[in-house]
Amino acid sequence: MFGATRRVVGFIPRRLRPVRQVHGDGDGEERLHFHKSKGQHILINPRVLDTIVRKSAINPADTVLEIGPGTGNLTLKLLEAAHKVVAFEIDHRLVQVLEKRVLQSGLKDKLRVIERDAMKAPFPRFDLVVANIPYQISSPLVIKLVYGSTPFRSATLLLQKEFARRLVANPGDSDFSRLSVNVKLLADVEHVMDVSKRDFLPSPKVDSSVVIIRPKPQVPNVDLREWRAFTSSCFNNRNKTLGASFKNKRKVFELLKISNENDKASSHKGDDAEDDGGFTSFKEKIIGVLRTGEFEDKRPAKLSIEELLHLLSLFNQAGIYFAYRGHFKREDRFDADDE
């Protein structure tokens, strides 16, 4: 969360919210300026806060990671339940308010605040994530967690309702998307509850939902960079048939170039040159794979993860690749393009 802490006298603009309204322990003079455009919406409903903490199943020995603690309404409850809370907050003025409240509560030794952008900084070790996530970073943050290098037990996240629906969507649902398949490849997602926009200050335009993401103990043996490039190609037009999508001239040329480069990296030249003849034969190879697997007339939005994994395997067996091979970097495992 972002914002500014300021002391004012006289006329108070509507955009300035009293601390007393936000967390009930202000002195009546202090004011916080919240920026809606930066996702600054403070959860103020005690019932929802208690439910989030209870559903997170925090153990007394756990370290909890919180992204954007804001004024600390959730943080204080997490500190009571956990061994330690590590909170990422980039707004120094909000950090001052947070640390003041934690000091007054006597829990200062259990909190570590990192004043950095959570999307640009490495995460320390943690057991759980519990956070009210700004909409602007929802997709890249979820992917960073699920595809990142730090193992964790679960992530209880308060997200915009529309985004949460995409996370829990199944094949055939209207909200099933690339985000759905990329997250569900490695994790299970549970919808916990919906949260009214009236439970926040300032109030956002839409309602929110709480979801819990739990990494799977066993995941498919698949190159994750290849998988994510493959799902990008498939879900670029998720309601078109795969046959129609993969006949696109630009896409065929792109896959031909990648596949030939990968063949060269494997110390042998590919069979398909990048000329008209090579293009034609490569396109026929793609369609042949789709027909062999009976995928030509199917739409990605209706395919299960198992079916998509099978199709990717068929493509790779035929020498058709979606991502360049090379030295694998951990940061290649996530980016912001998963909508």
Q: Residue 209 maps to which CATH number? A: 3.40.50.150
Do the domain assignments include residue 4? no
Do the domain assignments include residue 33? no
- Total domains, the chain: 2
Same domain membership, residue 134 and residue 283: no
Looking at residue 11, what is its pLDDT? 34
Same domain membership, residue 276 and residue 142: no
- Whether the bond between 60 and the residue before it is cis, its omega within 30 degrees of 0, is no
How do residues 23-32 score in pLDDT, each as one tens digit? 555 433 356 6
Contacts 24+ apart (CB under 8 A), 311-318: 311/242, 312/222, 312/226, 312/227, 312/230, 314/289, 315/230, 315/286, 315/289, 316/226, 318/285, 318/288, 318/289
Do the domain assignments include residue 314? yes
DSSP 154-200: EEEEEEEHHHHHHHH--TTSTT--HHHHHHHTTEEEEEEEEE-GGGE
What is the three-state SS of 106-162? CCHHHEEEECCCCCCCCCCCCCEEEEECCHHHHHHHHHHHHHCCCCCCEEEEEEEHH
Looking at residue 330, what is its pLDDT? 39
Do the domain assignments include residue 143? yes
Looking at residue 12, what is its pLDDT? 32
Which residues of the chain have a pLDDT value below 50? 1-20, 26-29, 268-270, 327-336
Same domain membership, residue 244 and residue 197: no
| Boundary (domain end) residue, out of 190, 215, 240 | 215
What's the CATH code of the domain at 276?
1.10.8.480
Same domain membership, residue 232 and residue 175: no
Do the domain assignments include residue 23? no
DSSP 60-106: TT-EEEEE--TTSHHHHHHHHHSSEEEEE---HHHHHHHHHHHHHHT
Do the domain assignments include residue 21? no
Do the domain assignments include residue 14? no
How do residues 105-132 score in pLDDT, each as one tens digit? 999 999 999 999 999 999 999 999 999 9
> Which residues are documented as binding site?
41, 43, 68, 89, 117, 132
| 117 close to 90: Cβ distance less than 8 angstroms | yes
The CA distance from 138 to 53, in Å, is 20
Looking at residue 325, what is its pLDDT? 81
Same domain membership, residue 184 and residue 48: yes
Same domain membership, residue 283 and residue 143: no
Same domain membership, residue 191 and residue 237: no
Domain that holds residue 68: 44-215
Same domain membership, residue 244 and residue 107: no
Same domain membership, residue 211 and residue 98: yes
| Boundary (domain end) residue, out of 162, 191, 215 | 215
Same domain membership, residue 228 and residue 205: no
Same domain membership, residue 125 and residue 256: no
The CA distance from 162 to 209, in Å, is 8
Same domain membership, residue 320 and residue 237: yes
| Boundary (domain end) residue, out of 215, 237, 263 | 215
> Which residues are documented as binding site for S-adenosyl-L-methionine?
41, 43, 68, 89, 117, 132
Do the domain assignments include residue 188? yes
